[in-house]
């Protein structure tokens, strides 16, 4: 059985494998051997069918994909390989990397088509993943009647369930996007695609993720990484190394795993990671834990349990670690502070405070009481990240370094910026006013920046419904101004829906014409208003229709 070739068809269905490309011959084998340094284990959770693509999901959980018989689509098979469609599973893992129990992913992550290859942000509140081009019960076919792959984005709740799924804006019915992974800071997404501008059969691209959740244009990683063959399954390790699979760089077999420096993509050497990770068959989906001593990869090498198997690897450095008794803390400091509203200095009871070390591991989490106060005892001479958050306020992080003097109190006061304000009894998203040129519906560059803030707010609070209310100045007739304001409201709402992926039912447009001026500039005002005064009335406000859903 040519097992992984089937999986390639699943992931990038219209692309031939490299051995079918004319003129490419077998390459010499010249790879390092780390067999004495790493031990690999075929997981007992592997099935007879395809199992691959591990993502770390919390301290003792992993996410993986499988076509196993007990998935939600057990009565439906894909004609490409007569196996069931790939679904996500969550597995509990022990200290030795074994999956002890597993269950199908809860929420809206699985559909009747393929899902695989996910990446969580560091807070695990958002996930990026691969799925057939299927959205809101509709499947999208290319001109050749093939359903391509696309990247989707979902919110993740405290129980790990996915919701509010939206498509990556650079998806297309005519090419595939997949295998997303995030940089260390979560600000860059790397992914596989055969979009226009691809060097070979499939390339690795990247996009920057803005604070609003929107993306820059895709950028090809260039000819040092990408080749005339296939490059896929990117992964960024905790030390900044980019791992990926390729069937063209010098390797042992078909798809081999390679690595390079993600900060020097145009110049750094491309290194085959060698044995025991690579084989004569296909080796893919390499991931490492943050300790850089253990992880998982997938392979269809001989003597596996099924079609494609997941392998756990561990370094002998971890195996030989000696667990020592904790050293008593001989120097303590106390981090303490209050959480306040930056707009008025008032305390913010109910704010959530989280303290993590510089590796992102949570050490302390608490909701502050009526006094807004928190405190945490720590070792001396250590750095921490203190993060405060509260509904309808912007999150804020500060870095604290404790003293080398015993018993010091380290202040960590944080003031949060409100995300909404009250205007004439209405709760309005707090952004700079959206203004328009005279007699125009056009969204200006300055307006687009502010509208991205509205998009980010609506992604953060998925239950909120918003009215985009637009207003004009008093010049022109009342009917004309009402029509103009409705057009302006519609243009802003269309921008938010189309550019931000916000569902139509969550935001609507309403024009108010000249009926609600913010200053004295009404018809026949004396003295006559200046252009600047008139411009203040040409605005759009975003009012929360159901603010009660955000009550703590």
Distance CA 501, CA 327 (A): 51
Beta-carbon contacts of 408 under 8 Å, excluding residues fewer than 6 positions away, are: 333, 334, 380, 402
Q: Say which residues have a Cβ less than 8 Å from residue 106's Cβ, sequence separation at least 6.
A: 90, 159, 160, 161
| CA–CA distance, 285 with 266 (Å, rounded to integer) | 22
Predicted confidence at residue 388, as pLDDT, reads: 95
Task: Residue 99: name the closest of 47, 48, 50 by CA.
Answer: 47
Burial of 89 (0-12, 13-18, 19+ CB in 10 A): buried
**3-class secondary structure, 460:** helix
| Secondary structure (DSSP) of 268-302 | SPPEE--BTT--SS-EEEEEE-TTSSEEEEEE--T
CA atoms within 13 A on the CB side of 364: 17
3 state DSSP class of 396: strand
From first to last of the 552 residues of the chain, give the pLDDT tens digit: 333 334 443 445 333 333 333 333 344 456 889 999 999 999 999 988 889 999 998 778 999 999 887 655 555 554 444 457 888 999 999 988 999 999 988 888 888 778 899 999 988 889 999 998 876 666 666 566 677 899 999 998 888 889 999 999 999 988 999 999 999 889 999 999 999 999 899 999 999 999 888 999 999 999 999 999 999 999 999 999 999 999 999 888 789 999 999 888 888 899 999 999 999 899 999 999 988 999 999 999 988 887 889 999 999 887 665 445 555 556 889 999 999 999 999 999 999 999 999 888 989 999 999 999 999 999 999 999 999 999 999 999 999 999 988 889 999 999 999 999 887 788 999 888 777 776 777 888 888 888 989 999 999 999 999 999 888 888 888 898 898 889 889 999 999 998 888 999 999 999 988 888 888 998 888 899 998 888 888 788 899 999 888 876
The sign one gets for the Cα dihedral 48, 5, 112, 156 is positive
**Domains located in the chain, CATH noted:** 3-125+175-319 (2.120.10), 332-416 (2.60.40.10), 420-550 (3.30.1330.60)
The pLDDT assigned to 73 comes to 52
Distance of alpha carbon 343 from alpha carbon 161, whole angstroms: 35
User: Are the C-beta atoms of residues 368 and 353 closer than 8 Å to each other?
Assistant: yes
Ranges of beta strands (E only) in 316-361 are: 332-341, 352-356
| Residue 534, helix vs strand vs coil | helix
Tokens 């509260």 found at: 390
- CA 178, CA 284: separation in Å to the nearest integer? 14
pLDDT in the model for residue 327: 52
**Residue 140 CA: distances (Å) to CA of 14, 131, 172, 175, 193:** 15, 12, 9, 11, 17
Gyration radius of the chain over CA positions: 27
């Amino acid at each position: 059985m040519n097992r992984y070739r089937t999986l390639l068809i699943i992931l990038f269905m219209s692309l031939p494998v490299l051995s079918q490309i004319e003129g490419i011959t077998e390459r010499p084998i010249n790879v390092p051997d780390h067999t004495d340094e790493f031990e690999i284990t075929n997981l007992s959770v592997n099935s007879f069918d395809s199992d691959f693509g591990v993502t770390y999901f919390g301290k003792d959980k992993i996410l993986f994909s499988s076509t196993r018989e007990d998935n939600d689509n057990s009565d439906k098979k894909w004609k490409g390989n007569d196996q069931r469609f790939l679904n996500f599973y969550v597995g509990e893992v022990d200290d030795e990397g074994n999956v002890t129990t597993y269950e199908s992913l809860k929420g809206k992550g699985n559909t009747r088509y393929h899902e695989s290859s996910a990446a969580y942000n560091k807070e695990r509140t958002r996930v990026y993943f691969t799925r057939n081009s299927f959205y809101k019960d509709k499947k999208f076919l290319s001109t050749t009647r093939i359903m391509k792959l696309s990247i989707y984005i979902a919110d993740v709740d405290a129980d790990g369930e996915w919701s509010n799924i939206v498509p990556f804006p650079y998806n297309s019915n005519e090419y595939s996007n997949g295998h997303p992974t995030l940089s260390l800071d979560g600000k860059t997404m790397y992914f596989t695609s055969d979009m226009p501008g691809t060097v070979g059969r499939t390339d690795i691209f990247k996009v920057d993720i803005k604070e609003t959740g929107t993306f820059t244009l895709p950028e090809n990683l260039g000819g040092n990484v990408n080749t005339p063959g296939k490059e896929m399954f990117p992964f960024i390790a905790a030390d900044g190394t980019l791992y990926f699979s390729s069937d063209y760089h010098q390797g042992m077999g078909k798809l081999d795993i390679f690595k390079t420096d993600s900060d020097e993509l145009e110049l750094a050497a491309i290194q085959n990671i060698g044995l025991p990770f690579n084989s004569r068959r296909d080796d893919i989906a390499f991931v490492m834990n943050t300790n850089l001593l253990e992880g998982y990869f997938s392979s269809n090498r001989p003597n596996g349990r099924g079609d494609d198997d997941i392998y756990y690897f561990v370094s002998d450095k971890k195996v030989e670690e000696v667990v020592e008794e904790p050293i008593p803390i001989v120097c303590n400091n106390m981090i303490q502070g209050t959480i306040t509203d930056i707009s008025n200095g008032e305390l913010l009871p109910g704010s959530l405070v989280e303290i993590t070390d510089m590796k992102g591991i949570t050490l302390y989490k608490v909701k502050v009481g009526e006094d807004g106060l928190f405190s945490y005892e720590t070792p001396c001479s250590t750095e921490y990240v203190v993060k405060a958050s509260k509904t309808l306020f912007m999150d804020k992080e500060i870095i604290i370094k404790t003293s080398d003097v015993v018993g010091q109190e380290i202040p960590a006061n944080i003031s949060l910026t409100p995300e909404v304000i009250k205007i004439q009894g209405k709760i309005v998203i707090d952004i700079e006013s959206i203004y328009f040129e005279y007699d125009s519906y056009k969204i200006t560059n300055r307006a687009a920046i502010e509208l991205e803030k509205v998009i980010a707010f609506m992604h953060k609070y998925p239950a909120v419904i918003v009215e985009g209310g637009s207003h004009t100045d008093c010049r022109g007739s009342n009917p004309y101004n009402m029509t103009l304001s409705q057009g302006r409201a519609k243009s802003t709402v269309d921008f938010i829906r189309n550019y931000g992926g916000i569902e139509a039912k969550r935001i609507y447009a309403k024009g108010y014409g000249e009926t609600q001026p913010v200053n004295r500039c009404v018809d026949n005002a004396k003295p006559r208003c200046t252009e600047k005064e008139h411009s203040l009335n040409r605005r759009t406000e975003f009012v929360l229709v159901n603010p009660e859903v955000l009550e703590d």
